[in-house]
Amino acid sequence: MSNATVHNITDEGSDITLRRRSDSVEDQSTDKGINSDEEINIPKIGSTQRKERKKVLIIYVGGVLGMEYSTDGSFFIRQGMLTNRLMNDADFMTDDMPQITVNEWVPAILSSNMSTSEWVRLAEEITDAYYDYDGFVVVHGTDTMAYTATALSFMLESLGKPIIFTGSCIPFCDVHSDARRNLIVSLDYACVDYLCEVCIFFNNTLLRANRATKHNTGSLNAFESFNYPPLGVLGVHLKLKRSLLLPTPKTRFRLHTKMDKNVLQLRLTPGFSDRLIQNALQPPCRGVVLQIYGAGQYPDKQNLWSILNSAASHGVIVVLISQCHVGYVDFANNWEFNSLKHTNLVQGGDMTSEAACTKLAYLLALGLPFFEVKKLMRTDLRGELNTDAAKDVIDSLSLHRSSFMKDDDMPSMVNKQVLYEQQVDVPEEFVLPDSVASLSLKTKLID
Rounded CA gap, 78 and 104, in Å? 11
Q: Please enumerate in sequence order all residues whose Cβ is within 8 A of that of 221, keeping only pairs 6 or more positions apart, or say none.
A: 202, 203, 204, 205
Rounded CA gap, 137 and 182, in Å? 11
Q: Where are the alpha helices (DSSP H) in 196-343?
A: 274-280, 302-313
Identify the bridge partners of residue 202 per DSSP, sorted by sequence position.
Answer: 205
Find the helix or strand (DSSP H, E) in which 288 lies: strand 287-292
Rounded CA gap, 120 and 234, in Å? 31
- Is position 440 annotated in a ligand binding site? no
Radius of gyration from C-alpha coordinates of the chain = 22
- Is position 142 annotated in a ligand binding site? yes
* Active-site entry in 17, 83, 127, 142: 142
Contact (CB, 8 A) for 331 and 339: no
* Residue of 207, 201, 197 whose CA lies nearest to 228: 207
Strand ranges of the sheet holding 317-322, from the earlier edge strand across to the other edge: 263-267, 287-292, 317-322, 346-347
**Helix, strand, coil content of the chain in percent (nearest 5):** 30, 20, 45
* Residue of 376, 391, 384, 388 whose CA lies nearest to 327: 391
Count of residues in the chain = 447
Cα first-last separation, the chain: 27
Is position 83 annotated as part of the catalytic site? no
Find the helix or strand (DSSP H, E) in which 200 lies: strand 198-202
Q: Please enumerate in sequence order all residues whose Cβ is within 8 A of that of 292, keeping only pairs 6 or more positions apart, or say none.
A: 268, 298, 320, 321, 322, 323, 329
Give, in degrees to the nearest 5, the angle at Cα 23 between 18 and 27.
140
| 3-state DSSP assignment of residue 110 | coil
Contact (CB, 8 A) for 317 and 326: no
Find the helix or strand (DSSP H, E) in which 205 lies: strand 205-208
Distance of CA 111 to the CA centre of its chain: 15
- Which residues are part of a known binding site for substrate? 111, 142-143
- Binding-site residues: 111, 142-143
What residues are labeled active site? 142
